Structure 1
Amino acid sequence: MRYVIVGNGIIALTSAFRLLKKLSPGDTITIIGPQARVGSATLAAAAMLNSFAEVDAYSLRSEADIFHFELSHLATQMWPEFERELIDAAGEKLPHACAKCQVHSGGCFEKGTYIVNNTASDELDDRNFDAIVKACTDFNEQFEFVDPANIPNYAPATDCRASRAILIHNEGWLNPRIVIEKLDAILTNHEQVIVKNGQVERLGKVHGEIASVLLEDGEEIAGDVFLIANGASAGNLIKRSELGIEHQPLFYGVGVSLEIKAPGYAHKKCIRTPNRGGACGIYSVPLFQSHDKINDHILIGASNFISPEPFFNGRVASVAHLMESAIREINANFFDAQLVRVNVGWRPTTQDTYPMLGGTSIKNLVIATGTKRDGFHLSPVISKNIAAVMCGEVVDERLGMFAPERKPIRDISREDAIAMGVESLISQNYQHGYRPSGIRMDRQYRDYIRRDLEELHDKVGAADWGIHPELINMYRRGFAK
């Protein structure tokens, strides 16, 4: 059997890794992706293993959202053992940074996320913080309230200090670059794996099945089972290939993260706010380098805006906002930190914001994309299921909710969507310096946004469903319907 995987991000590589254990003699896996990994959401990720920390006031209200949360929670539980599997599989090819890894601590894997509830934004932060606490309580997740003043290396500006904070013990972080290095070492050195540095131009369909992929340089690669897992670019590839399958729009969630070097202020655990303004708030995450180095690198994130096309460079406003927010909300001493790298990642975002996972009406074509900012975190559970689908095995039937050819899931009511939209836009504005002159001005501005969103819902025919706040501009511009 010849398996062909399009993409070389975390979903593609972990799916290939899972397939290794299912191969028979003579089987091959071909992985195709550009070595430079431009726009890689994986390499821009903080790799926070956060499930409960991602809950907000509108979470867990539908069957699809609850199932997605279950997958996320399962992935958090799977990561320690999965990391051990990767270390064992790499063997002598283990990256130098992993040479003394203890898996659970002391390396590129560590547990613990602090959630701080500060006053840098508006009251939406308070409601989302309360929702996280409630979810942890309801699901018996281990957490505790802590004094914000006792959080290591948390030293915000006075007017941004937190009034409340919790520590979620089992949600942690990884260095995504080291994990990718491990996967590359495992796969490139396996005798049944072929790694191609290239870009797939199109898939070739013959007699109702995919027969081959054509690379930009003209090389054609035949196969028996194909996986499209090239992130946000998957939609354009499917369109170019004229496969005759229908799928909802897939957008580029362009995000910027910053790698800084902060001598004297190294982190051991994640520090983050709740989700705010349709995104993940502000966070700082340890970025482990090596056991023989001073580990004072930190990842700051993250910005996000939805676009129908890719952006290859970070926007100045995004970089400036992250820098200022990290200094004011996490540690005022970051003003003296060194900027090591600006990462730009294209998070694959569907119209309904849920992933596209599983087989298609073309029986030898599987798709795995649309994971937004959760791809790295979800990769242990997604890869396990995708490898099973590629081998014709039975998986949880609930994954059918996220089938690639489904109609958009519309599980937000119009009323909730408009309320979410108003709150998200106000929250965004507060983060960027919005200060109303008085209560009346704020009320007038909220009323204006509400009327505008009601008109948008009317325009697109959203009478009994609602537009997710992240997709407002895509509906406004006609890229989502």
Structure 2
Amino acid sequence: MTSFADSHVHDVVVVGNGSLGLSLGLVLARRGVRVAVLGRPHRPGGASCAAGAMIGAFGDVTTTSLKDKYGRTKLDWAYQAGKLWPEWLAGLPDGSDLLTADGTVVILNTVGLPEVDTQNYKAIRGALVDYSEEFEDVDPEDIDWLDPEPTARPLQAMFLPHEHAVNAPELLARLENAFIAAGGTLIAEHATRVDHRRGQVRGVELESGTVLSAEHVVLAAGVASQSLLDSVPEQAARIPRLVSGYGVAALVDTEDGTCPPTVIRTPSRDFGSALHVLPRGDGQVYLGATTVISPEPRETALITDAWSLLNNGNRQIRRSLGESSLRHVQAGNRPVTLDGMPLLGETELRGLWMMTGTHQDGLTLSPLLAREMTALLLGEQPTIDLDVFNPVRTPIQPLTRGEVVETTVTRILAGGYESNWTVPVEWPMLLEATLVTELYRDPPNVPSEVGARLNSHGRRLG
């Protein structure tokens, strides 16, 4: 499946063989560009290979994401990208076979906090109405395959017929095949250094010591892009730093060999994660996912995170999951910038481009961003304004510090309820007051012992 060029000279080198990197490489190769895509075949800690790969714009809408123009821009891009997916899949070998779910059911259940679940459910519905997007309210009792415990029963549900899911590992394999067929070069190594001189990129150095020459280098390796960017420290200092949105998911062989026909998911909860299950065929389901912001990526799952995920799936989705076989637990690292916004476009070092920081939207956005980044690389006019997320920027601050503190505390407490904690009724109010005091006491943007404790607390709560 892997091809190697005799020459080490390319027009563009794309660092990263996930959904974004391969999609960009494919569009460039189809335009006749000499392009190489770099990445280890097993993609250690990558986001794409561990993803449930839900394709849609609206399921992840939150009240917070709609508050500012940046969140609304990302929603609009996801909406446009969703329209591209049928043609995108049709252009891949047997691409139509990649779809694993026929629509999405969003449930609002009795778990969590009204300030999070209920409000985000309403935000999803409001966005659907604003975009005149088709959806249908359904009776929770009529949802096929859903069988939660009574204390986690759904109160409301809606069906989104145009939000699907694909098999992520198979998608990556088909992208690789199409890329090679289009004349692209796939190199099974990661880059260790950006080669540059006098303000101009010259290429990259590989782990083997080989130097590839290229006029343009695109960093599309998710959170792993940061280590390569750090080889150009004067640029790294001017770009919001990437950290990991580490998450855990599981592949489960169901006890009775059945799967839901659709995605079944909650609204987004603590720190952007949503409990969801989707079919993978042959009696196997994908159960996801947790989110913990971590300064460094992880290649393996923590037991506490896996336990929390499996417990929530068993309680909130289907009681018989506890009697099912656990096929595989996997960890992935979503690329998150310190300001929460993508890094898209050329840096101040001529020829060095970034295409990452998309958090959980990268796979959904991949057809759109591949098309638009190709236009920029070829000197053409893009159809969307990528410059709003230009990499070289002061950190975007869509929320005030007070709003950040309020949101953080609410999400932490919501995680407790989702984990089925049992505490005296007055304790959550006391905890809330204590957390608010602690967060306001610490200087902004300075890591602290409090921050470490909160991160640990959030991990335990899932």
| The two structures share one fold, judged by TM-score above 0.5 | yes
Which of 34, 38, 44 lines up with 1:28 in the alignment?
34
Which letter maps to 1:300? L
Q: Which residue of 2 aligns with 1:195?
A: 186
Q: Which residue of 2 aligns with 1:228?
A: 219
Q: Does 1:131 align with 2:118?
A: no
**Could you tell me how far 1:472 is from its partner in structure 2?**
6.2
Which letter maps to 1:177? P
Tell me, yes or no, if the aligned pair for 2:100 and 2:279 is still in contact at 8 Å: no
- Counterpart CA distance in 1 for 2:402 and 2:332 is 32
- Counterpart CA distance in 2 for 1:325 and 1:377 is 25
Which of 350, 367, 375 lines up with 1:363 in the alignment?
350
| Identity fraction in percent | 25
Which of 55, 59, 66 lines up with 1:60 in the alignment?
66
**Could you tell me how far 1:107 is from its partner in structure 2?**
5.1
Q: How many residues are treated as equivalent by the alignment?
A: 442
Which letter maps to 1:142? E
Tell me, yes or no, if the aligned pair for 1:254 and 1:310 is still in contact at 8 Å: yes
Partner SS, residue 52 of structure 1? coil
Identify if the C-alpha distance between structure 1 residues 107 and 397 changes in structure 2 by more than 3 Å, giving closer, same or farther: closer
Q: Deviations over 1:19-53 (max 9, x none)?
A: 12321xxx421111111211110011011113211
Which letter maps to 1:86? L
Q: Deviations over 1:345-399 (max 9, x none)?
A: 1111001111101111122121101011111111111111111111121224631
Q: Does 1:379 align with 2:366?
A: yes
TM-score (norm 1): 0.87
What does 1:438-457 correspond to in 2, within 5 Å? 438=425, 440-456=426-442
Partner SS, residue 53 of structure 1? coil
Partner SS, residue 86 of structure 1? coil
TM-score (norm 2): 0.91
Partner SS, residue 408 of structure 1? coil
- Counterpart CA distance in 1 for 2:189 and 2:98 is 32
Q: Does 1:49 align with 2:41?
A: no
Q: Which residue of 2 aligns with 1:95?
A: none
Q: Does 1:283 align with 2:280?
A: no
Tell me, yes or no, if the aligned pair for 1:108 and 1:178 is still in contact at 8 Å: no
Tell me, yes or no, if the aligned pair for 2:235 and 2:347 is still in contact at 8 Å: no
Tell me, yes or no, if the aligned pair for 1:205 and 1:243 is still in contact at 8 Å: no
Partner SS, residue 54 of structure 1? coil
**Could you tell me how far 1:473 is from its partner in structure 2?**
5.5
**Could you tell me how far 1:129 is from its partner in structure 2?**
1.2
Tell me, yes or no, if the aligned pair for 1:108 and 1:287 is still in contact at 8 Å: no
Q: Does 1:392 align with 2:387?
A: no
Which of 176, 184, 195 lines up with 1:184 in the alignment?
176
- Counterpart CA distance in 2 for 1:475 and 1:21 is 47
**Could you tell me how far 1:264 is from its partner in structure 2?**
3.2
**Could you tell me how far 1:323 is from its partner in structure 2?**
0.9
Q: Which residue of 1 aligns with 2:395?
A: 408
Unaligned runs of 5+ in 1: 88-97, 289-294
Which letter maps to 1:63? K
Which letter maps to 1:219? T
Tell me, yes or no, if the aligned pair for 2:372 and 2:384 is still in contact at 8 Å: no
Which letter maps to 2:99? C
Which of 220, 240, 243 lines up with 1:248 in the alignment?
240
Partner SS, residue 81 of structure 1? helix
Q: Which residue of 1 aligns with 2:17?
A: 8
Q: CA RMSD in A?
A: 2.2
Tell me, yes or no, if the aligned pair for 2:81 and 2:367 is still in contact at 8 Å: yes
Q: Which residue of 2 aligns with 1:301?
A: 288
**Could you tell me how far 1:110 is from its partner in structure 2?**
3.9
**Could you tell me how far 1:476 is from its partner in structure 2?**
9.0
Which letter maps to 1:7? G
- Counterpart CA distance in 1 for 2:305 and 2:81 is 30
- Counterpart CA distance in 1 for 2:27 and 2:64 is 34
Tell me, yes or no, if the aligned pair for 1:418 and 1:454 is still in contact at 8 Å: yes
- Counterpart CA distance in 1 for 2:362 and 2:16 is 13
Identify if the C-alpha distance between structure 1 residues 244 and 360 changes in structure 2 by more than 3 Å, giving closer, same or farther: closer
Partner SS, residue 54 of structure 2? coil
Q: Does 1:434 align with 2:418?
A: no
Partner SS, residue 91 of structure 2? helix
Which letter maps to 2:12? Y
Unaligned runs of 5+ in 2: 1-9, 457-462
Q: Deviations over 1:272-304 (max 9, x none)?
A: 01111113221001124xxxxxx2211100011
Tell me, yes or no, if the aligned pair for 2:267 and 2:274 is still in contact at 8 Å: yes
- Counterpart CA distance in 2 for 1:271 and 1:350 is 28
- Counterpart CA distance in 1 for 2:74 and 2:379 is 23
Q: Deviations over 1:83-111 (max 9, x none)?
A: 11223xxxxxxxxxx4xx6x3xx752544
- Counterpart CA distance in 1 for 2:127 and 2:48 is 27
Tell me, yes or no, if the aligned pair for 2:292 and 2:455 is still in contact at 8 Å: no
- Counterpart CA distance in 2 for 1:229 and 1:247 is 15
> Higher mean Cα deviation, 302-311 or 234-243?
234-243
Q: Which residue of 2 aligns with 1:274?
A: 267
Which letter maps to 1:441? W
- Counterpart CA distance in 2 for 1:142 and 1:230 is 35
Which of 197, 209, 218 lines up with 1:218 in the alignment?
209
Which of 69, 78, 85 lines up with 1:72 in the alignment?
78
Identify if the C-alpha distance between structure 1 residues 9 and 342 changes in structure 2 by more than 3 Å, giving closer, same or farther: same
- Counterpart CA distance in 1 for 2:91 and 2:343 is 26
- Counterpart CA distance in 1 for 2:441 and 2:263 is 40
